[in-house]
Structure formats: structure tokens, C-alpha cells
Chains A and B, each alone.
Chain A
Amino acid sequence: MFRPFPKRSRAHRGGPGTQARFPKCRVSWPDAQISGVCRARYAWGIDSPFGRADQFEIGSREGETLSNTAPLLSLKDFRLRFRGQDACTIDRIDLEVARGEVLCVVGESGCGKSVTAMALMGLLPEGAAEIPSGTLSFEGLDYDLTRERLPADLRGGAMAMIFQEPMTSLNPVFRIGDQIAETVLRHRGGTRAEAETRALDMLRRVGLPSPEARLRSYPHQLSGGQRQRVMIAMALANDPKLLIADEPTTALDVTIQAQILELIRDLQHEAGTGTIMITHDLGVVAEIADAVAVMYGGQVVETGPVAQVFDDPQHPYTIGLMESVPRLSGAGGRLTTIDGAVPAIEAMPEGCRFRTRCAFAAPACAARPALRDVGSGHATACHFAPLEAHLRVAG
């Protein structure tokens, strides 16, 4: 038979039994992944925002006792550089999601949130970007992102994604039911009828009115909010362990936003799905997050449990972000903003990338600050944290 497209390599096919075939890179982080030069340039302070390094010494799923304490997903030392650029758009970030936890990744447009999500799912166009370093550990299996993408068997199966644009993310020429059934058939197999039953069940769970009729509908017959419900149904159809939601409410009406957010929260909670929610909306974070990672210029500048980060932000950027949220109380006065704009990637300063806009910037900021623990899992990448001490001195 004529095959116009090369088949994916063996390693990317097959079910759970294939895990032995994946080139496994046992994480002995950080030594294995960071070159000597880089290690000299960046002093990495802590193991990770959420745990100790020894939690990651897991090579396979066999160690059941270990996997209970291990995070569902951890991304380590991830760098990404777009073709034709010198600087890394994503510059050494670590992310970690525990089972059933919601991690919100916040930051301005262009800070690399979505790119990170796409890279995690293995959805970046081939050849568009290179990944100089990065290890992904998911469900106890490690993937060296510099050499491989997330296997297609996981995509849409154990790891699923919801996108920002519900209006264009569904294929206009196929029925809703078929589009959901397709992903079920791909990952669970079984008969068409079973897949359609599952699709119907999912449409019911996401609260779409008259789900039987909707099964036969085409995307254009649905509103934006309904389409996003369908996308959620599709993403959750195979009971993923991790859901990545890339600004799932940004394109929707404000009234619908809350409903969709609630739906994701409920379904995630019900099934214990670990979730990475990408957003620039701190309201969303407050609503849904267990943990938060604040990104600026492709770096994680602050991370920790949502309560700590919100109550006691330690990074000047996080503080700026919090202050630029309009409030109903305390009326009067101008809305606080962060001066300037995110520099273009070529103009990114060495060291702390926020220092060109930071009120506290000092010569020391030319060296990249490590994420430092400031108590109970709350970590910040600022030389001057905790800031209160400095404010008192300055004041």
C-alpha cells in the first residue's frame, strides 16, 4: 500500500506495555542534565518548588510505594529556543503537578506559558523549536525532551489538552459525536457503538443540553461555550491523569467563563485529574488553583501553594501582577501597572529577566537568582527575597 507519510517509530506505538521500549533517562537531576558551563552560570538553589530531589529518583511504575509520593508530572530544567533565535524563549523552568492537583501557570502574554504547554503535549510543529535541555517525568516514566516528544499514545490518553480557541478547535466537517468517539477508539479501542456510548456519556457529564441530539450536531451549530464543553468532553473522554488547559475561558463571554471554569474544576475534582491551567487571569487562579507558578520572560519567578503566593508574594513581578488587578473595594486612585513591557527575546537581559522593569533592580541582578524556598513550599527567584526586610531598610 502506498504510504505517503513515514510511520512513527515503533517506540511511539502500542499500549502501556511499551514502556520498556522508551529510551528512559533516569533522572539524576541536576548533574546529568545541566552542562558544566550552565551549572557555573546558574546556581540552582532548591530541589524544586514542591519537594525534595530524592522524590524524583524513580525510573518506572514498578515502585508503587514511591509513585504515591512522586508527583504526577514533573518538568525539569526545560529550555526551548525557537529556530533563528539566540536566546531561549523558555529558560530553565521546572514545573511539578501532584495527582489531583491544579497548578496554575500565570504570566503576561508572551511569557512562554502556552509554548510550554504545547511542548509538554508534543504539539509544537516539527523543526520550529529546539529543546537544549529538559526532562519530563510523567506517571513515573521519564522522557528526555531533547530527543523525543511525548509519545502519541499518551496524547489524548493519559495527558489531554483543552485549547484557548473553542470556535476553531473542532473540525467543522465532522459530527461532534464522531470527533469524541474518535479519540475513545484511538486510546481505548473497542467497538464504534461503545465509543459512541462513551461520547454520549461525556456530553452528558459536561452538561450539554440534549446530548443525544448534540451527538449528531456539527460544530457550527453550537455556541462558543458549548464548543468548549465539547472540547472538555473530548479531553476527558479517556480519563486522563493530566489535563492541560490553555486559557480555556479567555475566548468566552464573561458569563460563560465562570461556568466553564466550574465545570473543569468539578470534573477534575471528581476524577482526581492533575491539571495544569494556563492563564493570565489571577481571578481564575484564585478560583481554581492549588498551586501557582508565576512566569516572566520564560522563567518561573515564583511558585508555591496558592494561598502563600497570594497572601505573601515575594517576587517584585508577582507583587506588580497582584497590584494591577482592578479592585471594587478601595475605590478611587489609578490602577497600578507594571512599567514598560516584556522585552523582545533578543533584548532579554542576562540574569534576572525582570530587572529592566523592576523597582528593586541592583547590580546583583545580572546574575540569575535561583528559586529560593521562603517557607512551606513557597519559592521565589529574587536575590532580595524576602522583600519586607529590604523595604524596612529602605524605608
Chain B
Amino acid sequence: MIRRRFHCGAPQYHGRERLACPYPAVYGSATPMTEGSTQAEAEPARPVEALPPEVAEGLYIVIAAFNEGKAIGDVVRELLPRYPHVVVVDDGSRDDTRHKAHEAGATVLRHMVNRGQGAALQTGISYALRQGARFIVTFDADGQHRPDDIPALVLPIARGEVEFCLGSRFLEHGDKVPFRRRMVLFAAIIFTRITSGMRLSDAHNGFRAFSRKAAECIDLHLDRMAHASEIIDQLRATELPYKEVPVFIRYTAYSLAKGQRGSAAFRVAFDYLIGRVLR
């Protein structure tokens, strides 16, 4: 149907598999992480504040991964052992994502069939809550987020100042975001302002941290990409205190190629609006 017209993006999609791709673009990368490709040119050095061990112990990092076999191992290894609980939700990948994640030491949850990024994140969050998580961080599987930014998101929650933190790529280093992505994201920010009334500087950043209390309020029904707006709506409805934290996004050639296409935005907007009407 319509979905087939969208590019699935990943070079490993061929024939039948390509048709089976349920949403516009894979939400991560399967392109090899070659030497130097993970590190963007001008990554700003930030004094890394370490998490106290008792906080790190209660922290679960949830990564939704779809066909990430070539990148996920490095992402997990970068997180462990500083953050002992890394949960990778393999969303029905056709490659060896789950083996790579398992080898790297992550807890792997497997969706038997692909359900979309929103569904995968909710699975990871539900699992973390059942395991007794005190803090939950959602993290991207393609290496575009930096583990060094995690304390900046979690510490305000651990100190009890806020209940959730949203990563923002525009608070600082906004000029490093490529122009075309900036245009799409700008539209998304305006959309979020209109629909949810929340004035965010970066509406669709996958890097977020929640307290247990905030995470328990999340109940994602939009399985595909529209969850980014849904999550914001639900958090706003809780009226819990929050803040935006500047994070640096490693835009690399492959993460750009694998990211959401601008044209996918219409599909996302449609899913979201329908979700508002029908629940």
C-alpha cells in the first residue's frame, strides 16, 4: 500500500524484506560504524559529571533498535559498564541486532514481529518499570547520542528538581544541525506547540530521561513515529516539573542518511492526529 512508496532507507533491504518495512524509514542505522564515523568533527568537550553509583544502579537505559546489527554493539559497549542496566528492544529486526546487543552485554527484549519505534520504547519502559527502575533514559540505537550527556539529564531528576528531562539539540550547538534537518525539526516544533501547547526548543529528540513516577504516566498507543508527540502530550498532562537539557547530536553521514525523511513527517502527523481523535 502507501507504505511501500516510502524509502525504507537501509541498504540491507531487498525484495520482500523491503515491502515488509512497516514505517517510512528505519529508525536507526545499519550502516557500518567505520573508524571516525561515530565521532563528529567538532564534538564539544564537556566536563563529564559522574553519576553516583546508587543512581546508576537504578537507571535503566532503553534503546529501541530495528536492523541495527552493525551499530548496536558499539552503542551498548559505550554505555556499559558505566550504566549497568542497558535494555535493547529488538523490534523484529531481520539482521543480528539481538545477538550483537547480547554479546555487548545488554539485556535484550525481542519483538517477534516489527511493531514500530513507539511500541518498542513502550516495551522497554514497561520492562524497566517491572524490574524496579528508578530512572529511565531513552537512547537512540544509531550512535547519535553521547553517553556523556546522560548525567546531565538524570542528575536533575535524581536531585529531585524535576520529574523528567528532555534532550534538546538546539539549546546549545544548534548551529551544528544540518540545514535540512533543521527545517523539518522546526516544523515539528511548531506542530508540537500548536497541538500540545508545550514550548519546547526541540520536540522530536529521542534522548529523554524520566523518573519512575513520570515513566509510569507514559502509555504509548501510537506504535510508529508519532509517539514523539504522544509522549510529550502525556507528560504535559501530568503537569510534572521538567526541563530541557542541551545535548549534542552526532550528525554523521550515515545517521543523516538513516534518519527520518522530511516526507515522512506527513505520515507522522496523520498518525498523530488520528490518534488524538480515536483512542
Same complex origin of A and B = no
